[in-house]
Amino acid sequence: MLDVHRIRKDFPILERRVHGKPLVYLDNAATSQKPRAVVEALVDYYTRTNANVHRGIHTLSEEATALYEGARDRIARFIGAPKPGTVIFTRNTTESINLVSHAWGLKHVGPGDEILLTEMEHHSNLVPWQVLSQTRGAKLKFIPVTGSGTLALEELPSLLSERTKLVALTQMSNVLGTINPIQEIVRAAHAKGIPVLVDGAQGVPHLPVNVLDLNCDFLVFSSHKMLGPTGVGVLYAKEAILEEMDPFLAGGDMIRDVWLDHSVWNDLPWKFEAGTPNIADVIALGAAVDYLEKIGMDEIRAHEEALTRAALGALRQIEGITLYGPEDPAIRGAAISFNVNGIHPHDLGQLLDEEGIALRAGHHCCKPLMRKLGVAATARASFYLYNSEEEARILAQALQKAKEVFGVVAHR
């Protein structure tokens, strides 16, 4: 069991009070809080080392380069990537997907080809593929979401066709919490020679992830949802795929040699990192990864499974609540979406804020999924390693209170 009390001491922001109440931060699927070690890595870098990387021969530049590349090594190890050169830094998950849709997609997807997605994708893993398919005259197909919030995998064999060029799907839904069976889907796709992109924006922060075990071809995720700073995303891809891909952005640092009329690309991973990178934030993501590894991803997953069980149990007691996503905590994460009869989710969010509870209300950048669920919006509580079962109970109590305020409590 995680020592939540001790972990919370590492996160100064959790001592804040909001509207006079202790902060209950349940908006982790949007972004996580940062431990002191991450903030200190940023301050240390700017106060001791700041210099540009890969270009200077002076001491500060060499130190900055060692810290930056050292972070890449740690992040590669964290996801089980066989070589640090297969880990590319971008701005966020969204940019990592756009890198693939441009640098890989424009080359491999043509008229009449198909890209297979799911109905539970975040707009980040939908809109880039819409743009690509419109540009190239290709078609998008979707694995349906069932009434219980899982993927209708019995439809997979018929959806994978001769024309399918890529399968791209989320490891964990940011709305339903569903953890998708990536290995099973990768096996089915690879049997037909189709590569798979895994959107790990919600998976990598919360689950032990090893790219060799998943055997995915691409994995994308964001630093800011896994205790790191904003402004850093990661793209992992198999080396052979990256080698044969053209660059996405062109300019300094991504070249080996330049003439007036042409250039030769740099080695991996720098071929995909044009211009001065986000040095400080990458180094701080390295500190976040160290922190997560010290706690242990298996322990974090076990803690969140227990939290999900407790939170679902407490929320189910509320009359008039609709909970979305799988009921079984073993196949889902701790992003819990819900609606309460008679109260708009935005009103709920506002009332809960008055109780010091931070959660998100809206479409969660999953408008097609909202339509499928038959709602315009949901409220969503999303938990992380520093959240406690007590906070799940505080949420449930605040929801009861919200019902009283709105007069939707049944009078017997």
Rule CB under 6 A: choose which of 30, 169, 297, 336 binds ligand 7TS.
Answer: 30
Amino acid at 180: N
On whether the CB atoms of residues 30 and 361 are closer than 8 A, the answer is: no
# chain residues binding ligand 7TS, by CB under 6 A? 17
- x/- track of binding to ligand 7TS for residues 201-220 (CB under 6 A): xx------------------
Minimum CB distance to ligand 7TS, residue 3 (Å): 28
Of residues 342-361, which lie at the interface with ligand 7TS (CB under 6 A)?
360
Rounded to whole angstroms, the Cα distance separating 300 from 161 reads 38
Contact between 98 and ligand 7TS by CB under 6 A: the answer reads no
- What angle, 0 to 180 degrees and rounded to 10, lies between the N-to-C axes of helices 389-405 and 297-316? 30
Contact between 93 and ligand 7TS by CB under 6 A: the answer reads yes
Other C-beta atoms closer than 10 Å to the C-beta of 152 total 15
On whether the CB atoms of residues 142 and 385 are closer than 8 A, the answer is: no
Of 344, 72, 29, 358, which is closest to residue 177 (Cα–Cα)? 29
Q: Which is nearer to ligand 7TS, 179 or 351 (CB)?
A: 179
Contact between 32 and ligand 7TS by CB under 6 A: the answer reads no
Contact between 266 and ligand 7TS by CB under 6 A: the answer reads no
Rounded to whole angstroms, the Cα distance separating 272 from 250 reads 8
Q: From residue 397, give the alpha-carbon distance in Å to each of 241, 394, 400, 404.
A: 51, 5, 5, 11
Of residues 286-305, which lie at the interface with ligand 7TS (CB under 6 A)?
none
3-state class (DSSP) for residue 205: coil
Minimum CB distance to ligand 7TS, residue 103 (Å): 17
130 CB-near residues (< 8 Å, 6+ apart) = 140
Q: Which is nearer to ligand 7TS, 64 or 335 (CB)?
A: 335
On whether the CB atoms of residues 334 and 322 are closer than 8 A, the answer is: no
Contact between 122 and ligand 7TS by CB under 6 A: the answer reads yes
Contact between 124 and ligand 7TS by CB under 6 A: the answer reads yes
| Catalytic residue (choose from 365, 381, 394, 398) | 365
Of residues 165-204, which lie at the interface with ligand 7TS (CB under 6 A)?
170, 174, 199, 201-202
Q: Is 216 a catalytic residue?
A: no
Q: Which is nearer to ligand 7TS, 194 or 201 (CB)?
A: 201
Q: What is residue 116's DSSP assignment?
A: E
Rounded to whole angstroms, the Cα distance separating 190 from 269 reads 25
Q: Which is nearer to ligand 7TS, 125 or 266 (CB)?
A: 125
Contact between 34 and ligand 7TS by CB under 6 A: the answer reads no
Q: What angle do CA 314, 320, 322 make, to 5 degrees?
A: 70
Could you give the residue numbers annotated as active site?
365
Binding residues for ligand 7TS, rule: CB under 6 A, are 29-30, 92-94, 122, 124-125, 170, 174, 199, 201-202, 222, 360, 364-365
